[in-house]
Amino acid sequence: MIELTRCYRFSAAHVLARDDWSDAENRRRYGRCANSGGHGHNYGLEVTVRGPVDASTGELMVRGQLDSLVAERVVARFGHCLLNGDSLFEGRVPTAENIARAIYGELEAPVAGAGAARLVRVRVHETRKNSVTYRGTS
């Protein structure tokens, strides 16, 4: 088995706040990130797939295929948007942790449908000091 990691970027905004908490509780828990006006990030995204190398191409997965999946299912959907308004975050705060889980969920089946490679990891870089990795449930 071999792993391939591709890196991407997208800009998006979010508000870290729960609807069922008071403004004071949200500010206590999330600090300035609970500002109702929201704030943005230039997110870095790493997507890692694993599988056997195709003997005829010498590749695990056609890179353009993975790039297209990420462009369509993540960058076009989340880019320059307020993540709180996306249905993937209905009932969930769009923290870096939940963003990583949502992206994994959006990519897992399409990657599996593209060939022998399987999605194994999504890493979201929110800031220079903060990144989150999600590896799925299996």
DSSP secondary structure string, 9-58? EEEEEE----TTS-HHHHHHHHGGGG-TT-EEEEEEEEEEEEEPPPTTTS
**pLDDT-derived band at 137, boundaries 50, 70, 90:** confident
Residue with tokens 């599996």: 112
* CATH number for 111: 3.30.479.10
- Report, as an integer, the average pLDDT of 84-113: 97
Residue with tokens 């206590």: 28
Q: Is 21 exposed, middle or buried (0-12, 13-18, 19+ CB in 10 A)?
A: middle
Percent of the chain with pLDDT over 90: 96
Mean pLDDT of the chain: 96
Instruction: Quote the percentage of the chain above a pLDDT of 70.
Output: 99
Domain membership of residue 39 as a residue range: 2-134
Active site residues: 33, 80, 126
What pLDDT does residue 138 have? 58
Q: What is the reported pTM?
A: 0.95
Average of pLDDT values for 2-11? 97
- Our count of domains for the chain comes to 1
